[in-house]
Structure 1
Amino acid sequence: MVRLLSLVVLIWLVIGAVAAGQRGYFESSEQNCSSLATVAITVVAGPLNYAGVNPAVECEVPQPTQ
C-alpha cells in the first residue's frame, strides 16, 4: 500500500513538473520569491494544472531599514 501511494505521489509531482516546464517556468532567469514559489506550487498542484488551475504566488521580501 505504501509503495502504491509513493508511486502515485511521484507520478503526481512528475505531471506537475511537466506542466511547469510547458509554461516555461524553468527557462526564466529571474529568480525571486514570487517566481520560485510559483514554480513550487505549480509542481505540487500536479494534474490540477490541466484542469484549469493556474497557481501564482506574489510575495515581497522585506527590505532592510536605512
Structure 2
Amino acid sequence: MKIISLLVLLWLIIGGVAAFQRGYFESSDTSCAGLGTIALTIVAGPLNYLGVNPEVQNCELPQPSE
C-alpha cells in the first residue's frame, strides 16, 4: 500500500511540475476553465511529457437562485 501511495504522490508531483512549467499558476485567470485545465494537467501527470495537453475550453457553473 505504501508503494502505491508513493507512486500516486509522485504522479501528482510530476503533474504539478508540468502545470508550473506551462505557467498555469502565474496567470490571473481564475475561471472555471482555467482551474479545470490546471487540475487536468496535474492529474495527467507524466503523460504531459508524452504530448498530452489537457485543456478545458469552457464550463458553466450553476448560478445561485434568487
Task: Please report the TM-score for the alignment, with normalisation by the length of structure 2.
Answer: 0.88
CA distance in 1, matches of 2:27, 2:61: 20
CA distance in 1, matches of 2:17, 2:6: 16
- Does 2:30 match 1:31? yes
Task: Please report the TM-score for the alignment, with normalisation by the length of structure 1.
Answer: 0.88
Matches within 5 A, 1:1-66: 2-58=1-57, 59-61=59-61
The alignment of Structure 1 onto Structure 2 pairs a total of residues equal to 63
Stretches of structure 1 that go unaligned for 5 or more consecutive residues are none
Percent same amino acid at aligned positions?
65
Runs of 4+ in 1 over 2 A off after TM superposition: 60-64
CA distance in 2, matches of 1:60, 1:30: 15
Q: What residue identity is the alignment partner of 2:60?
A: E
CA distance in 2, matches of 1:29, 1:61: 19
Stretches of structure 2 that go unaligned for 5 or more consecutive residues are none
